[in-house]
Amino acid sequence: MLPPRPARSVPPRAPFRRGAALSSALTPGTGLSSARVAWRHSLRFRLAATYSLLALALILLISLGVVTLLLSRMDQQFNDRLNERADTLAEAFTSPGAGLGKAAGGAGAYTMLIDGDGLVFAASPILRSFEKAPYPYGTQSRVTIQDTSVRAVQRKIGLFGTLWVGLPEDDLIAARQSAISALLAALVFTPLILLVVGWGVGQRALSGLQGAANLADRIDPTRSLATLPLPAREDEVHRLLSAINRLLVRIEAGQAREKQLLGQIVHELGAPLTVLKASLRRAEERTDDPEVRRAALVADELTFTTQDLMQLARGQLEMRLAWHYIPARTLQERLDRLVSGTAFEGDWGGGILCDPDRLTQALRNLLANARRAAGPHGKVWLTLQETADHLSFTVRDSGPGLPPELGERIFEPFVSGAGSSGLGLSVSRQIAVMHGGQLHGGTHPQGGAEFVLTIPGAALGDED
């Protein structure tokens, strides 16, 4: 196994965020347990709305059938009543004594006797104005008399002529309007009531699923994956949570196998790297060849990476900083050997308070991405600017620039615009944050990508 790096801490005057961890950037459940789903996207709302629409359609069909049947029966009863009255009066005229004991209508009855010439020679009191005048309605079955709708029938009464009998429809029209009003009111208020009831029932029915979602949001995949509690009822929610628990168990087993394999790979790489570093160091002492020095530096970087991988295999994702105050020129020489062809600009004559290995790792990732984007014949610039409060490292290339559709997503793990693994920018931003700074990127107005990494200045006095 490789020995850990010595950590010599230098207490800075300016505050630094030393406790930031890489796991916080890779934990998807962070901050999601308090999230709430918008009502229009809620499963409860969709279920309640679907339930209300289906119930509305059923109520509409059933109500239309019932109202249609009711109105038909009322109309039939009205016609039966009208025909019965007309038959009674006609029988009374044609068969004297046959209509005894049967009501022929009172003062409000609508009756007229029409002779063979079409003249009204007798009428009930309410129609007295039609007497001695031609019959005005012809064969109409519905007429309006004094703003009253009247339905009428006619009967032949032998030598007397024709009997006209009418019956007011006011009660039937009122009943029809009441039925239609009740149907419309039901169609308006029933969906609202059903939606509220469905929302409440859905909230109660899906409460177990919502609680499970909140618990799932708090699961940290870097630690042991706890299973979700199952509801008492063995319904669809119980089945879903059971399937999720089985999936979590399989994920945890897969993670354990991956960590074990990663640990074995790192262990197998450790011994060859140690031998390679020793051989390159001896070759550097003998030949003083710059290519050998560069290869030795790359071997040091590989050793540093294997230590991070060993921490990952052990489940320790937290980065730790070893603070040093180094000349900026040392950092420049180190980066120049790692990424050749870089044009260094700005003031490299000062000092930097940082973790040299981590800061080198962050800038190396930015320079490697810039070199890949610019191509073998393109240009890559690294500019250092120092102010009273902070240091800024600007990496710019002559490539095509950043894909505009990615935006800030370019800093998310496994998101890449150039076909790489997508981890370099994420790790570089995390290192900048751990130093108390930040990393931003975009496309330069003159073309090419531009990344600016800032960290606080050393702010050291003479005694420090």
Q: Are 464 and 352 in contact (CB under 8 A)?
A: no
Q: Which domains does the chain have, with CATH numbers?
A: 322-464 (3.30.565.10)
pLDDT tens digits, 42-95: 676 777 778 778 887 888 888 888 888 888 898 899 999 989 988 888 888 777
Which two tokens mark 178? 């009441």
Q: What are phi and psi of 95, to 5 degrees?
A: -130, 90
The per-residue pLDDT for 2 is 38
Phi/psi for 367 (5° steps) reads: -70, -35
Q: Are 276 and 299 in contact (CB under 8 A)?
A: yes
pLDDT of 454 reads 95
pTM value is 0.44
Instruction: Look at residue 226 in the predicted model and tell me its pLDDT.
Output: 66
Residue 435 has a pLDDT of 93
Q: What amino acid is encoded at 347 in this protein? A: D
Determine the pLDDT at residue 437.
Answer: 94
**Tens-level pLDDT at each residue, the chain (464 residues):** 334 444 434 334 333 333 333 333 334 444 434 445 566 666 767 777 787 788 878 888 888 888 888 888 988 999 999 899 888 888 887 776 554 444 444 445 789 999 888 898 888 888 888 888 999 888 888 998 888 889 999 998 887 789 999 999 888 888 888 888 888 888 788 878 877 887 777 777 777 667 777 777 766 665 656 677 777 777 777 787 788 888 888 888 887 787 777 777 777 777 787 778 788 878 877 887 878 777 777 777 677 667 666 655 555 556 678 899 999 999 999 898 888 889 999 999 999 999 998 899 899 889 988 988 888 889 999 999 998 889 999 999 998 888 877 777 788 766 665 555 456 788 889 899 999 999 999 888 888 899 999 999 876 555 55
